[in-house]
A and B are shown apart, each in its own frame.
Chain A
Amino acid sequence: MAPPAVARVRGSAPRRGRRPPAPAIVGIGQTPFARQLGISETDVAVRAIVAALDDAGLAVRDVDGLCCYDIESTGIAGVVATLGLERVRFFSTHSHGGGAYCAVIASAADAIRAGRASVVLAFRARNRGRRSSFGRGATEGGRPWEKIEPRIAGFYQWQVPFGVVAPVHEMALIARRYMLDYGATEEHFGAVAVTMRSHAVRNPRALMRQPITLADHRASRWVAEPLRLLDCCLESDGGCAVVLTAMDRARDLRQRPVRIQAAAQCLGPAHHHPHDWFAFERRRWMRAAAARLWGEAGLAPADVDVAMVYDHFTPMVLLALEDWGFCAPGEAGPLAARGAFAWPDGQVPVNTHGGQLSEAFIHGFNNLGEAVRQLRGTSSCQVPDAEVVFVAAAASDPYGALVLVR
Chain B
Amino acid sequence: MTADDAAAVRPPLPQPGPDTAEFWAACRRHELRIQRCGACRRCRFAPRPACPSCGALRFRWVRASGFGRVYSWTVIHGPTLPAFQPLVPYAAGVVLLDEGVFMVGQIRGCAPEALREGLRVRVEFDDVTDDIALPHWRVVRERSRSTRARAGARRARRLP
Contact = CB atoms under 8 A, between A and B. Distances in A.
Interface of A: 145-146, 148-153, 155-166, 169, 172-174, 176-177, 180, 221-227, 269, 273-276, 278-280
A223 B76 CA distance: 6
B84 interface: yes
B64 to A, nearest CB: 14
Given A162-B136, A173-B93, A224 B74 contact: yes
A379 B116 CA distance: 44
A276 B94 CA distance: 10
A165 B80 contact: yes
Given A176-B74, A275-B101, 14 more contacts: A153-B14, A157-B14, A161-B13, A163-B11, A163-B87, A164-B76, A166-B80, A172-B74, A176-B73, A177-B94, A222-B89, A226-B74, A227-B74, A274-B72
Given A274-B94, A274-B102, A275-B46, A222 B77 contact: yes
Given A158-B103, A279-B101, A163 B76 contact: yes
B75 interface: yes
Nearest to A163: B84
Nearest to A176: B72
A152 B94 contact: no
A163 to B, nearest CB: 4
A148 B81 contact: yes
B104 A164 contact: yes
A282 to B, nearest CB: 13
Contact of A224 (B14, B17, B75, B136): B75
A151 B14 contact: yes
B61 interface: no
B14 A161 contact: yes
Contacts of A173: 72-74, 92-94, 104
Contacts of A177: 71-72, 94
Nearest to A148: B12
Interface in B82-101: 83-84, 87, 89-90, 92-94, 96, 101
A222 B92 CA distance: 15
A158 B46 contact: yes
Contacts of B15: 151-153, 157
B38 interface: no
Contacts of B160: none
Contacts of A151: 12-15
A101 to B, nearest CB: 24
B127 interface: no
Contacts of A275: 45-46, 94, 101-104
A267 to B, nearest CB: 13
A280 B101 CA distance: 10
Nearest to A156: B12
